[in-house]
Structure 1
Amino acid sequence: MTFPPNYATDIQRELGAEYEEQKKQLGTVISGISHDFRTPLTASLGYLQMIGKSGELSDKNAEYLGIAMQKNRYLKVLSDEFFELTKIENGGEELNIEKIILGNLLTETVLEQHSWIAERNIRTDFDIDDGIMIQADVHCLTRILNNLMSNAQKYTSDSFGVKLKQDGDCVVLCVSNTIAGSTSLDVDRVFEPFYRMDARTEGGSGLGLYVVKLLCDRLGWSVKAELNDNVFTATILI
């Protein structure tokens, strides 16, 4: 049996197109499920808050209500993250690339961390160069920075640092934090979906750094992680 020229290439192209179409359809289904899940979840949280404000609960029932509200909020965070992740993995919205003064946005994001830093008496080391201009999508960049800060908030033991430097043609952004000696961490897996540095830590889905990696890839940047003497550092090369 004789096959026409480029037969294997054509089959491979068709399979690739079919896979992408099925992936897109699956993403649409997941987005729909996520939306349908979040709507009643938000409503139930509202009802729980109304019950809490009624002032008619015993101490024990108030405690149970607090636990229910905590779990409800956690489920809402998860559903929001899954919804956002689905959009990212399927290409999301078109990138709107514009000039951004990275130091300004980074400084604003760092200042927003003041409450947990002060509450836990965390030592800080911020070294952010002024005037560094980059080309980026501001939504993607904001999500990257917020996820890096959220990761630091979850796992910082006593010190937290952010550095932004120009190194020749490359911009280097480092976010570092100490972790507790008892924390279980496989630095080679931190950018995998659903990987959590410490399963005992409450909150989080293990998607934060995975989303950072996806968004960096979309923007053409590279990201890596290191662990030295209980100091975890995520470095983005722009």
Structure 2
Amino acid sequence: MLYITIISVIAAAACLVRLWFVKREMKRMTSKLKAYNDGRTGKKLDLTFFDRHIESLAAEINRQSDLVVEAEAQRRRTENELRQAVANISHDIRTPLTSIFGYIQLLESDEITGEEKQEYVGIVKNRTKRLQVLLNDFFELSVIESPDYPMKHERLRLNILLPDIVTGLYDQFNEYHITPDLQLPESDIILYADESAVRRVAENLLLNTIKHTSGQVRIILQMRQGMAVLTIANEARHLTGSDLNVLFDRFYTADQTRSGKGTGLGLSIARSLMEKMNGSLNAELQGGHLLMICKWKLP
């Protein structure tokens, strides 16, 4: 009986000691967490008393802290991007509007000739078309990025669809004296995706390439590791690695003077559509050439 009593006392004492250590550790964790939340320290929780339940709790608290930091960084990036977008929208809308208003004032003059009037009307039309393209692209991007944007999945033969898209841009290639080098696989590449989205992605990438290259354009479609891979490559010696980080940002143009070659929304629209199709769109620089790489998972 005495032996049982001694064992019970020892067990109770061990439990009390353990409880004291647990309470001390919880108090220390609370103090550290409060200091972290108050911004007095950036150090995460660590343990001096090891218990698997407390370890799990500390790990989840540290993970939550990481998520909060990541969310805050994302919020700052979004705010900066929004401010830049607003500034660029203001610039891109104000510039053609100012030009349109100026030429309208010239058209109101009685001193201009018929030829000048015709020239000014043509300029006003061109500026108006640019403004229309900008507003249409901006509206399209906002619609695509909405959570309920509809995507229709249908069976596509990508090796048949791609030549049709390239052929549809014949006039643009011809205008810039570019002969595209189209390389297709011998076998069919079957893809389940939204045809209009695939067309828009390819068209946006090709139009961006046409406007910003003076050399050859290679369009390569192949199947790699269970994925359909479309690569569009063109000479781009003016680009640097830092450009790749912002290439898909809204309104970004490599032409920093924003001289009217594009709205800077085409690549953003293409990437958003690829993400809606559970694909990816990335850019790489290789030997002075820009590679736009689209990837779709094959069924």
Stretches of structure 1 lacking an aligned partner (at least 5 in a row)? 1-8, 13-40
Report which of the two structures shows the higher radius of gyration computed on alpha carbons: 2
Contact 2:176–2:210 under 8 Å retained in 1: no
User: How far did 1:123 drift?
Assistant: 4.0
Q: Secondary structure at the match of 1:186?
A: helix
User: What one-letter code is carried by the residue in structure 2 that aligns with 1:104?
Assistant: I
**1:201-212 pair list within 5 angstroms:** 201-212=259-270
Partners in 1 of 2:114 and 2:239 — Cα distance?
Answer: 38
Partners in 2 of 1:71 and 1:85 — Cα distance?
Answer: 21
One of 190, 193, 207 as aligned partner of 1:136: 193
User: What one-letter code is carried by the residue in structure 2 that aligns with 1:186?
Assistant: D
User: What one-letter code is carried by the residue in structure 2 that aligns with 1:163?
Assistant: I
2:167 matched residue in structure 1: 111
One of 249, 252, 268 as aligned partner of 1:195: 252
Partners in 2 of 1:229 and 1:69 — Cα distance?
Answer: 41
1:16 matched residue in structure 2: none
**TM-score normalized by structure 1?**
0.71
User: How far did 1:143 drift?
Assistant: 1.4
Contact 1:194–1:205 under 8 Å retained in 2: yes
1:95 matched residue in structure 2: 151
Partners in 1 of 2:173 and 2:126 — Cα distance?
Answer: 22
Q: Which has the higher helix share?
A: 2
User: How far did 1:57 drift?
Assistant: 6.0
User: What one-letter code is carried by the residue in structure 2 that aligns with 1:74?
Assistant: R
Q: Secondary structure at the match of 2:119?
A: helix
2:24 matched residue in structure 1: none
User: How far did 1:120 drift?
Assistant: 2.8
Partners in 2 of 1:202 and 1:155 — Cα distance?
Answer: 12
Partners in 1 of 2:133 and 2:169 — Cα distance?
Answer: 19
Q: Structure 2 vs 1, CA of residues 96 and 57 (structure 1 numbering), >3 Å: closer, same or farther?
A: farther
Q: Secondary structure at the match of 2:159?
A: helix
User: CA RMSD of the aligned region, Å?
Assistant: 2.9
Partners in 2 of 1:73 and 1:187 — Cα distance?
Answer: 29
More deviation, 83-92/181-190:
181-190
**TM-score normalized by structure 2?**
0.57
Partners in 2 of 1:108 and 1:133 — Cα distance?
Answer: 16
Stretches of structure 2 lacking an aligned partner (at least 5 in a row)? 1-63, 69-96
CA shift digits 1:83-118 (9 cap, x unpaired): 211111113532211111111111111112222322
CA shift digits 1:175-219 (9 cap, x unpaired): 11123x456871221111111122345232111111111111111
User: How far did 1:72 drift?
Assistant: 0.3
Contact 1:121–1:158 under 8 Å retained in 2: no
User: What one-letter code is carried by the residue in structure 2 that aligns with 1:193?
Assistant: R
Q: Structure 2 vs 1, CA of residues 93 and 135 (structure 1 numbering), >3 Å: closer, same or farther?
A: same
Contact 1:74–1:203 under 8 Å retained in 2: no
Contact 2:179–2:217 under 8 Å retained in 1: yes
Q: Secondary structure at the match of 2:252?
A: coil
User: How far did 1:223 drift?
Assistant: 1.5
Aligned length: 190
Partners in 2 of 1:71 and 1:203 — Cα distance?
Answer: 12
CA shift digits 1:114-149 (9 cap, x unpaired): 223223322432102251101101121121111111
Q: Secondary structure at the match of 2:262?
A: coil
Contact 1:78–1:205 under 8 Å retained in 2: yes
Percent identity between the aligned chains? 27
